[in-house]
Structure 1
């Protein structure tokens, strides 16, 4: 299956617009001379490119972390699944309940794996980069004994550059 990942969103446009406003404002304080328009345009372009580069970094980190979570689940590794969550993450798993913290989340995955669930795959995943530090993944999902929908996987960049789940909302159907 070919996974489709998208990184553009309204939030992306707002980030870029806010960056442009800050850039124009800070640059215009230094010079309002129309001769400097070319330099000002180059300055704006450089800052937007930096933002796009950071957004790409978030996208790549989320893709990698999501693949690591799926690989851990598919090999029956609840510790590996839980390692993809922040320590204080919250998981809302409909109809199973809410699980707070990495330890409780690991317990959920451990029980699900023990019950014979495996072979998870995402169906038409979409990653929306929210800002230079976070992104949301939404997707359908299927496995050997169930299927459902992910409505909100909030991935956040960590200080080491990896992405971890802060929020995970999904439903079995």
Structure 2
């Protein structure tokens, strides 16, 4: 019986050890699960805090961007107004320059016309002077040489107004 009792005690001890080991494992797994839950909860809390901080930073950045955008839009509007004023002033200046150029062009055209009129007058005077010189030379030649050329001159060379300039012996041949 001793043996049997001993085996039973051993068996009980073994079972008790197994039970304790299982309880230990169970406690360890429960403890591990609790630790994991705590770590997950802490991680979630940490992530939520980071997310809130990130959202605050993004909101601050958005506000800053919006403020900068509004300032830029206001500056653009101001520059556009200045640009419109400059454009208007340039247009006025350009109109004045065009008017000035038109006046100068008209003056040049008038001066050119005056010059052309003077040149034409001068050409007419020179042409008249040439005709006068040619007529004088013609009459001189007729006076000198007409008596030698009578009968040889073709018809139309002598005109009726040439007769008074010829010598009297040629006009009244008696």
Instruction: Note whether the superposition's TM-score is higher than 0.5.
Output: no
Rg larger in structure: 2
Structure number with higher relative contact order (C-alpha < 8 Å, ≥ 6 residues apart): 1
Larger helix share, 1 or 2 = 2
Q: Give the TM-score normalised by the residue count of structure 1.
A: 0.29
User: Per residue, is there more strand in 1 or in 2?
Assistant: 1
> Could you state the TM-score of these two structures normalised by the residue count of structure 2?
0.29
